[in-house]
Structure 1
Amino acid sequence: MALPGCRFIMAVLLSIGLAIIYGLKVNLSVAIVSMVNYTAVNLLQSEELQFANEDFCSIQAVNYTALETNQTDSVTFQDGPFNWSPNVQGIILSSYFWGYLAAMFPGSQIAEIISAKWVFFFAVLVNIIGTLATPISCYTHYTLVYVVRIAEGLGGGVTFPTTHVLLAHWAPPNERSIMASIAFSGTILGTVISNLLSGIIAIEAGWEWVFYIMGALSTIWLLLWVIFVTDKPRDLKFIGQKELDMIESSLGTSGDTKKRQRKVPWKKILESKPFWAILVAHTCSNWGFYMLLLNMPLFMKQVLKFTMAQVSIYAAIPYFIMWLFSLAIGQTLDRLRQHKKITTTTARKIATLIASAPVAICLLILSFVSCQIVAAVILLTASLTAMGAMYSGFMTNHIDIANNYAGTLMGMTNTIATIPGIVGPLFVGMLIDDDPSIKSWSIIFYVTIGFFIIEILVYTLFGKGDEQPWNKPEDDNE
């Protein structure tokens, strides 16, 4: 029996898979707020640092009732069992990216040569197992948490290049932006759900159940993935002939049943300015995205003095709006391209500009008004909303310039772009360990703004949306 819209079913399952990967990645960022014994950690710091933390923001946050809940503990924080310093917390959050970095490029090659479907499947499975094992690793020793997070990172690292391989086989060019937006928006949706559930579960059942419940629920996806996803449309028994013909004719793969191993034109890739534009944009954007993804709950706790309930709610809202915006901008750009209003190059540059310039402006303003809670929340929300456009910008651009090597290109750019995920939390941890006040956070914001400026300049000058000559197998002279 043929199912309608199998390509979109694949995109939705990709989205859910990425939602699981990101949800299981960021749940620790929220849960750690209720896991750490901040009273004990503060006692280990000097009186000077304690005074720095009792700044104007904390006084204003306590007196500001608009965002307070009706609970009696609206400004009282419940300590957790672990005496982890900010540096240890930073290493725990960044250790995921050690594995992520190591798996990126090998994963892209395995996905292209063997099977993107099964690489993605085992990536999610590893993350589920790691999540279920997190509580016992925490109680054993924080070094074991490093190991578990590295293992999860190994699984997570292969998902982006694998997603590109699948989209290159399934997404018609005139639907590429919206299908990529559907797939990659799962990273946002997973963050939204994880932030909300993690906070609620930690409050109602205890932080350990954050990992048990979310890990268990994620197992349902594994069965759906096995049944409804194949590496190529022709291999799926549920797809209708009309849809299959449309996909294959648009991609020029009609009747192609062979899995060909193409020699990667490494020299031409490294000489390609459009490739370097993607790499720079990806790396700079990731610094900003990971800074917000991993550290926004901590910023809300330390500077805005939010409770656990407030952190879970106000850290989730921006990602929900970001999810909606990413889908809207993807569909809008695809329609403009279909009606020949803009070129692919223009579409990618517009999306990338939207995902960077407004974010830099919001962070600059936040450096001056962060003690005004409503303004701070609005600016954080606006920043993350704008970043939703990146999935229709440089994140899809790999497929535009070389669909035959989309997984390889994503593996290359995402490998470098993972470095901010490692360095960022360590950088933040180092600064706030010395001085957890708004002054340190302002430095973090200024550095992030600098990365966005570099992204805007390089991608605007050198980004392209046209297929590159070296994408054709007959041009491989390496």
Structure 2
Amino acid sequence: MAPTTLCGCLPARVALALLCSSGVIALYLVRINLSVAIVAMVHVPSTKNVTRDKLCINNREELSSIDMVQGPSNSSYEIMSSGLQEEQIPDKIIMTSMEKGSILGAFFYGYFTTGIIGGRMAELYGTKRVYGISMLMGAILTFLTPLAAKTHYAFFTTVRILMGMLQGVVYPAMHSLISRWIPPLERPRFISFVYVSNCLGVVITLPLCGVIIEAVGWEWAFYVPGIVSVVWVVMWALLMHDTPQQHPRISQAELKYITDKLTQQSGGGTKPTSIPWKKILSCKGLWAIAIAHAGNMYGFNLLNTQLPSFMDGVLGLSIKKNALLSSIPFLSRFIGSNCWSWFGDMLNTKGFLSIYVSRRLFSAIGMVGNGIVLAIVGFVGCNEMLVVSLLALGTFCMGATNAGYASNDLDLAPNFAGTLFGLTNSFGFGFAMLAPVVVGALTPDQTPEQWQAAFLSTSGLLILCVTVYLIFADTEIKPWNFASPKEAQDEKEEEERQEFIQKHSHGSAVSLQKL
């Protein structure tokens, strides 16, 4: 999956990181756009009157489309879009809070089902095909989303589920790529730069969609990301190579360096011809990774699907300001991830920390730190800058997990990196997809008290999951990563037999031509 080098001095794996990073940004353009667009396209009727002292009224003066309608004599107020009743809002799609949460969560209903398939397909057929086809079909569904949203709730839900299924293959496929391209000690840095480019995707998508929606309407918040995805697919098809050996312009020095480092990690062992499912599923270290991933992704999904709704419902920000401030924590996570990974690599390379200690330490920093911050955020009130600053601190800490558990499955079995990541990612997102639904159920009226419950429950979950990981974490490479001696010998004999057949066939063809 390596791109063509951009110049003679740029290593192929660095160019690979740049191409993959841009792909992750494009991936998130079509995933996260709904989080902002749904604020403009959906109206959620309040289930009860909300008292003035529980809303950030000063911020609501920024909203030209919001009127305050005085309620009964108890001086409570109900927020209504344009001061109109539901049936008088022609440009809005009417949904309950639960339906809105379900639509935001529908992507993940599909996402968690295809991770294992994606990882295994990439191991067999290469990441170039798996990632490229996923992005192209995802772009088509993105173009279709406005029509689906206006047609029927079920159609809308189906499109989002299908998009989730397509994107579910991407990260496991990239994990397979890493096992073929990236030396072990460079993997945390590569994962942080490439994988956490999803935060750059969010940082770009939220403000961009806010501007687009104000300028030309919410439908174009889907059309523009779709166009970007198509352009990226063309670049991917032209520049991508699945292995260093297939790269037409990689230097011999870099090729030798990558090959030597990967051989050193494997000890010269041979990859098995079949997947040892029983041994994989009984590996406690792998399940520790899956549990940590489930908790961390729940917290991340709470932010990337519900943060704009929190900014709108509690802080009452305009769509443009909402989108801008909502993007800041994700930029902080990207910066934090790369800082922590660089720091972790330095400690590991110089021998200050073992891989085992490093994985556990950075997982604890990422999940406990973010958990503490989320517990505080719910009690801050209407101070929007303090809210954003705290969330940015929490996501900066969250970035440490990429030097922690997120790199751990590559330690256990690099030959099955795609399959293992597909398993842990499917498990993690199978649980994390509950985040928008649970938050929707906990915050029907978007009051600060309801959001306190949402943040506190997420904080407790993060700390619980990382505690399980710290107890059961494992970094030793597993024997089932390699073929048994008999299987390796059989494979060698088969390769020799095929080589003999090819030589014999070639000789026969030459003889026939002479005749």
TM over 0.5: yes
Match of 1:297 in 2: 308
Which digits, 9 at most, give the CA deviation of each residue in 1:395-442, with x for residues without a partner?
A: 111111110111111111111111233322111122222x43122211
Residue of structure 2 equivalent to 1:50? 49
In the alignment, the residues of structure 2 paired with residue 55 and residue 404 of structure 1 have an alpha-carbon distance, to the nearest angstrom, of 58
**Is 1:19 the equivalent of 2:28?**
no
SS of equivalent to 2:286:
helix
After superposition, the Cα gap between the structure-2 partners of 1:370 and 1:470, relative to the gap in structure 1 and judged at 3 Å, is farther
- Percent of aligned positions with the same letter in both sequences? 31
1:126–1:151 contact (8 Å) kept in structure 2: no
Q: Could you tell me whether the CA contact under 8 Å between 1:322 and 1:386 is conserved in 2?
A: yes
Structure 2 counterpart of 1:196: 207
Structure 1 stretch displaced more, 282-291 or 13-22: 13-22
Query: What number of residue pairs does the alignment pair up?
Result: 458
Structure 1 residue 374: deviation in Å? 2.7
Q: Provide the rounded CA distance (Å) in 2 between the counterparts of 1:443 and 1:37.
A: 23
Query: 2:172 is matched with which residue?
Result: 161
For residues 238 and 202 of structure 1, the distance between their equivalents in structure 2, rounded to whole angstroms, comes to: 43
Name which of structure 1's ranges 366-375 and 312-321 shifts more when overlaid on structure 2.
366-375
* 1:367 Cα deviation after fit: 2.3
Report the counterpart of residue 102 of structure 2 in structure 1: 91
Alignment of 1:271-420 (within 5 A): 271-420=282-431
- The answer as to whether partners of 1:22 and 1:190 remain within 8 angstroms in 2 is yes
**Which whole-Å CA distance do the structure 1 matches of 2:166 and 2:385 have between them?**
38
Corresponding position of 1:430:
441
1:154 Cα shift?
1.1
Partner of 2:225: 214
Structure 2 Cα separation of the partners of residues 445 and 101 of structure 1: 23
Query: CA offset at residue 62 of structure 1?
Result: 4.5
Q: 1:32 aligns with which of 25, 38, 52?
A: 38
In 1: Cα distance, 2:404 partner to 2:15 partner? 23
Distance 1:85 1:457, change over 3 A: same
Query: Structure 1 stretch 201-210 or stretch 78-87: which is displaced more?
Result: 78-87
* CA apart distance, 1:350: 2.2
Matched, 1:459 2:469: yes
Separation in 2, partners of 1:126, 1:417: 24
Residue 127 of structure 1 is matched in structure 2 by 138
Superposition map of 1:433-452 within 5 A: 433=444, 435-452=445-462
Cα displacement (A) at 1:110 = 1.1
* Per-residue CA distance 1:283-331 (angstroms, 9 max, x = gap): 1111111111111111111111111011111011111122122112112
For normalisation by structure 2, the TM-score amounts to: 0.84
| Paired residue secondary structure (2:316) | coil
The one-letter code sitting in structure 2 at the alignment partner of 1:58 is C
- The separation in 1 between residues aligned to 2:53 and 2:232, in whole angstroms, is 46
**Aligned mates of 2:50, 2:207 — CA distance in 1:** 32
Q: Distance in 1 between matches of 2:98 and 2:456?
A: 21
1:90–1:475 Cα change, 3 Å: farther
Q: Name 2:113's counterpart in structure 1.
A: 102
Match of 2:311, as an amino acid? M
Output the CA distance in 1 between the equivalents of 2:222 and 2:58: 34
Distance 2:118 2:60 in 1: 48
**In structure 1, what is the equivalent of residue 78 of structure 2?**
none
Cα distance in structure 1, aligned partners of 2:275 and 2:201: 33
The alpha carbon displacement at 1:108 in A equals 1.5
Letter in 2 for 1:81: K
Q: 1: CA distance between counterparts of 2:272 and 2:478?
A: 19
Shift of 1:172: 0.6
1:468 paired residue among 473, 478, 484: 478
The CA deviation string for residues 53-87 of structure 1, in whole angstroms up to 9 with x for no partner, is: x4433235458xxxx6xx86799967752112212
SS in structure 1 opposite 2:55?
helix
The one-letter code matched in structure 2 to 1:59 is I
Corresponding residue for residue 180 of structure 1: 191
Q: Compute the TM-score of the two structures, normalised by the length of structure 1.
A: 0.90
Q: What is the distance in 2 between the residues matched to 1:261 and 1:127?
A: 33
Mapped to 1, the partners of 2:120 and 2:300 lie a distance apart of: 26
Whole-angstrom CA distance in 2 between matches of 1:392 and 1:74: 44
Tell me how far 1:50 sits from its aligned partner.
2.2
Structure 2 residue ranges without an equivalent (≥5): 69-80, 83-88, 488-515
C-alpha distance 62-92 of structure 1, shift in aligned 2 (>3 A) = closer
- Separation in structure 2 between the aligned mates of residue 105 and residue 387 of structure 1, nearest angstrom: 25
Q: Is the 8 A contact 2:107 2:161 kept in 1?
A: yes
Letter in 2 for 1:449: S
Deviations along 1:156-203, whole A, 9 cap, x unmatched?
100111110001111111211111111102211111111111111111
Check whether the contact 1:178–1:330 (CA below 8 A) recurs between aligned residues. yes
Mapping of residues 221-240 of structure 1, within 5 Å: 221-240=232-251
Give, in whole Å, the separation in 1 of the partners of 2:317 and 2:486.
56
Matched, 1:140 2:151: yes
- Per-residue CA deviation, residues 362-417 of structure 1 (Å, 9 max, x unaligned), is 11111222333332222122122221222222111111111011111111111111
Inter-partner Cα distance in structure 2 for 1:373 and 1:337 = 39
Partners of 2:26 and 2:228 within 8 A in 1: no
Report the secondary structure of 2:114's partner residue: helix
Q: Secondary structure at the match of 2:94?
A: coil
Residue 464 of structure 1: CA displacement? Answer: 2.6
1:56–1:371 Cα contact (<8 Å) kept: no
Equivalent-residue separation in structure 1 for 2:443 and 2:357 (angstroms): 40
Distance 2:230 2:199 in 1: 20
- Structure 1 gaps of 5+ residues are none
Q: Distance in 2 between matches of 1:75 and 1:463?
A: 53
Q: How far, CA to CA, are the matches of 1:286 and 1:17 in structure 2?
A: 20
- 1:129–1:475 Cα change, 3 Å: farther
Distance across 1 between alignment mates of 2:338 and 2:359: 15
Distance 2:171 2:446 in 1: 34
Contact 2:185 2:349 in 1 (8 A): yes
Distance in structure 2 (CA, Å) of the matches to 1:74 and 1:384: 31
